[in-house]
Amino acid sequence: MKILDRYILKAHLGTFFFAFVTIMFVFILSFLTKFLERLIGKGLDFGIIIEVVALQSAWMVGLAVPMAALVATVMAFSAMTNSSELTVMRSGGISIYRLVAPVLLAALGLSLLMERFNNVMMPEANYKANALFADITRLKPGLGIDKNAFSDVIKGYSIMVKEIDNSTGELHDIVLYDRGRPNVRTVILAARGSIQFSSDYRYLILTLEDGQVHELTLPRMDRYRKMVFAKNRYVFDATGYGFERTEEEKRRRGGKELSAADLLAMAREFHLKSSVAERSIDKEIEQLRTEIATIRSRRDVSSSMSAALPPAVTGRAIETVDAMIDDLSLRIQQMQENRDSFNDYMVEYHKKYSLAFACLVFAVVGAPLGVMARRGGFGAGAALSLFFFVLYWVLMIVGEKIADRGVLLPAIAVWLPNLILTGCGLFMLNRLSHSTGGSGR
């Protein structure tokens, strides 16, 4: 490696590690602010709390490394521009592309390392972290409830609360979905409540106050019932609660806990199920059309003969059509669920690679940004880095939502932020190469 390349990379190295440590500190501090109060005083060993933080730091590393790469590139090129080193190099006939080349090669190597990290280490860390949280939740069920998000801490139910008082354990603005009865949709609303064990730890007791119970029969949705209560208790079997380590092979992995190969295999499975369901739907639509045509032909025959069809015949025909419509609706719902699952897994699959190669993307963007921020120093560089990372993350979230709804293919939606920022970086580099400050040779 030439002296110039070593010098440029050395200018990045210290800033990269400083930025990485700073960003990790902010992430860990944010995590501790949110969860530490809920972990301490729950009868857990200090080692368990340290393990929780260590396992949770895996996803933080996945975000901190690209951010640090962006900050390091911006800071390094800003410093070289401020000290006129970049001007001297370019006046000597060295193009901006040649100056950026070693940084891009280093960023490419970092992206390849992050790809392995996202594909091997992060899924295992996420799996063990979620398993550990599930074990802790069995010890303290209130710990598994997050504000403004549904959780399955109660078996057979989904619960969401707006506010949680960590000191008293009181819950506020509670929404509870009963998933135990597929033919009845039950929603329970309550102004406040609490969840705790019975004195012998054999039962889990959910106490709700000032609430309502709404019930709607499915699939016809023809019966609705509403009940109001001042105080109501729901008692659940507490078997399985209490802190015990879950055997890893007995717990099913979620999307963020799978490698790219496993995600692709799951996506193909759901795609196959969706295709089978679609063919089945087409077949049932043809059968429904045939049945309707048969009923119409019988009606026409009876009209021509001036005789009405017997009520029993008409009733059976209507029941047959209703049953076919209900079955068709169920299959359409299953097909949509399979498509949604396919999109979810494919989004996670592409994110493992797009987030890893964000290091390379941010190097392309960071170099011209550093030159442009030469007068603002560290503050301007940090602000620009934060702006572009937030922009990247917003585009990523929007892309995920679009892919989940099936508007765009997951591959296009997830890789779009990388393509947009790469285009911006190349445009700025091209403008710099033709600027009056140096040669483009």
Residue 350 has pLDDT above 50, yes or no: yes
Residue 106 has pLDDT above 90, yes or no: yes
Predicted confidence band at 291 (pLDDT cuts at 50, 70, 90)? low
Predicted confidence band at 440 (pLDDT cuts at 50, 70, 90)? very low
Among 355, 291, 278, smallest CA distance to 317 is for 291
Among 126, 136, 8, smallest CA distance to 61 is for 126
Pick 374 or 190 by higher pLDDT.
Answer: 190
Instruction: Provide the pairing of β-strand 157-164 with 184-197.
Output: unpaired
Pick 366 or 436 by higher pLDDT.
Answer: 366
Residue 381 has pLDDT above 80, yes or no: no
296-317: per-residue pLDDT in tens? 665 555 555 444 445 544 556 6
221-234: per-residue pLDDT in tens? 778 889 999 998 88
Beta strands in 145-243 (DSSP E): 157-164, 171-178, 184-197, 203-217, 224-237
- Mean pLDDT over residues 30-55, rounded? 75
How many Å apart are CA 35 and CA 165, to the nearest integer?
Answer: 13
List the chain domain ranges.
Answer: 3-140+351-433, 144-249, 254-348
Q: Mean pLDDT across the chain, nearest whole number?
A: 80
How many Å apart are CA 381 and CA 371, to the nearest integer?
Answer: 10
What phi, psi does 434 have (nearest 5°)?
A: -105, 10
pLDDT score, position 279:
79
SS (H, E, C) 394-425: HHHHHHHHHHHCCCCCHHHHHHHHHHHHHHHH
